[in-house]
């Protein structure tokens, strides 16, 4: 195991990276990697899968219909957060390294030219992305991928994805979460992915819980679901291919299928990357990993 320092005077952490690459999980054994961890103990019996019809503001829907679903989600969030807080720090670091190794060594990541990725926050107990971010930003300028990272706009679930070229483009917001400044050092407004001339290839997402059908439980803000809905509408308008949606997940975040209550508003992911490797879910993900 070797020590690699990324941006020694930056906001991204120093990491220990194992030399051995994690394997690619094939379709034949996908299910084997979705055994729910015993420390969490969720099941479809105690958290039912629910579907409702609603729009962003819940117009035309009786709030009494929605309340059970929101309660189920909040209960599940509490259990997952507890499991994450109880993770052994050494195990957490090992899983961070394994997950990031899988991403940066994958063919689908290497082939991507335009990428959205989140800046991990220890306060939110998210899978670390510092190596992924560094891998992009440390590439030679002529070969570098375009990297867009999130900036929260308001409390109405609005979020932008703005392009950065250095970790110095990031500023600390609440809870020490790093977000891109609206303008660069020359006062020029950063490129918004919604105004970009080329489509995204890859979208790397966080979340609190996931299952093998691609269901994702977020942190209740709705930022990613709303952004992805808007971006999907843009791709249809421009006749672009949809980006591959890949979520990063610790082992304790992968739970039994059907245990995540969902609405039509919740956008599923195409694939997961766990400590076990790449777990394709959608047809698009299977094609990309062939």
Tokens of 104: 């940066």
- Compute the average pLDDT of residues 126-150: 95
Residue 94 in this model has a pLDDT that exceeds 80: yes
Q: How far apart are CA 172 and CA 167, in angstroms?
A: 11
Task: Tell me the CA distances in angstroms from 127 to 71, 142, 187, 222, 286, one per residue in order.
Answer: 25, 29, 32, 19, 23
Where in the chain are the domains? Answer: 111-251+263-287
71-89 pLDDT, tens digit per residue, is: 899 999 999 999 999 999 9
Q: What is the pLDDT of residue 290?
A: 67
Three-state DSSP class for 105? helix
Residue 35 in this model has a pLDDT that exceeds 70: no
Q: How far apart are CA 207 and CA 248, in angstroms?
A: 8
9-23 pLDDT, tens digit per residue, is: 344 543 333 333 333
- Compute the average pLDDT of residues 128-154: 95
Q: What is the pLDDT of residue 277?
A: 96
Confidence class for position 196, pLDDT limits 50, 70, 90: very high
Q: What is the pLDDT of residue 83?
A: 97
Q: b/e string for 242-280 if b means 16 or more Cβ within 10 A?
A: bbbbbbbbbbbbbbbbbbbbbbeebbbbbbbbbbbbbbb
Q: What is the pLDDT of residue 175?
A: 78
Three-state SS letters, 232-255: HHHHHHHCCCCCEEEEECCHHHEC
Domain spanning 111-251+263-287: CATH superfamily: NagB/RpiA/CoA transferase-like (3.40.50.10420)
Q: What is the pLDDT of residue 115?
A: 98
Confidence class for position 220, pLDDT limits 50, 70, 90: confident
Handedness of CA 156, 85, 29, 41 (dihedral sign): negative
Residue (of 178, 160, 130) closest to 224 by Cα position: 160
Q: What is the pLDDT of residue 48?
A: 31
Tell me the average pLDDT of the chain: 81
Q: Are 242 and 177 in contact (CB under 8 A)?
A: no
């Amino acid at each position: 195991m070797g020590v690699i320092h990324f941006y020694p005077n930056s906001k991204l952490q120093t990491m220990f990276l194992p030399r051995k690459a994690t394997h690619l999980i094939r379709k034949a054994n996908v299910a084997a990697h979705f055994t729910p961890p015993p420390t969490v103990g969720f099941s479809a019996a105690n958290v039912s899968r629910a579907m409702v019809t609603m729009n962003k503001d819940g117009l035309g829907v009786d709030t009494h219909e929605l309340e059970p679903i929101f309660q189920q989600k909040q209960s599940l969030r509490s259990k997952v957060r507890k499991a994450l807080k109880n993770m052994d720090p050494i195990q957490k670091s090992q899983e961070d390294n394994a997950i990031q190794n899988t991403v940066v060594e994958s063919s689908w990541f290497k082939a991507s030219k335009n990428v959205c990725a989140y800046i991990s926050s220890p306060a939110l107990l998210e899978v670390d992305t510092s190596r992924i971010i560094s891998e992009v930003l440390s590439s030679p300028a002529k070969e570098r991928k375009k990297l867009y990272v999130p900036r929260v706009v308001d409390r109405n679930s609005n979020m932008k994805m703005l392009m950065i070229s250095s970790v110095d483009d990031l500023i600390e917001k609440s809870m020490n979460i790093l977000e891109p400044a609206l303008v660069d050092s020359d006062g020029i407004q950063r490129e918004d992915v919604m105004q970009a001339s080329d489509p995204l290839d890859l979208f790397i997402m966080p979340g609190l819980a996931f299952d093998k059908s691609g269901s994702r439980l977020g942190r209740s803000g709705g930022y990613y679901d709303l952004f992805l809905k808007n971006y999907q509408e843009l791709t249809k308008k421009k006749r672009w291919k949809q980006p591959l949606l890949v979520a990063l997940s610790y082992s304790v975040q992968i739970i039994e299928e059907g245990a995540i209550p969902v609405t039509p508003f919740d956008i599923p992911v195409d694939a997961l990357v766990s400590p076990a490797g790449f777990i394709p879910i959608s047809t698009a993900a299977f094609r990309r990993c062939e």
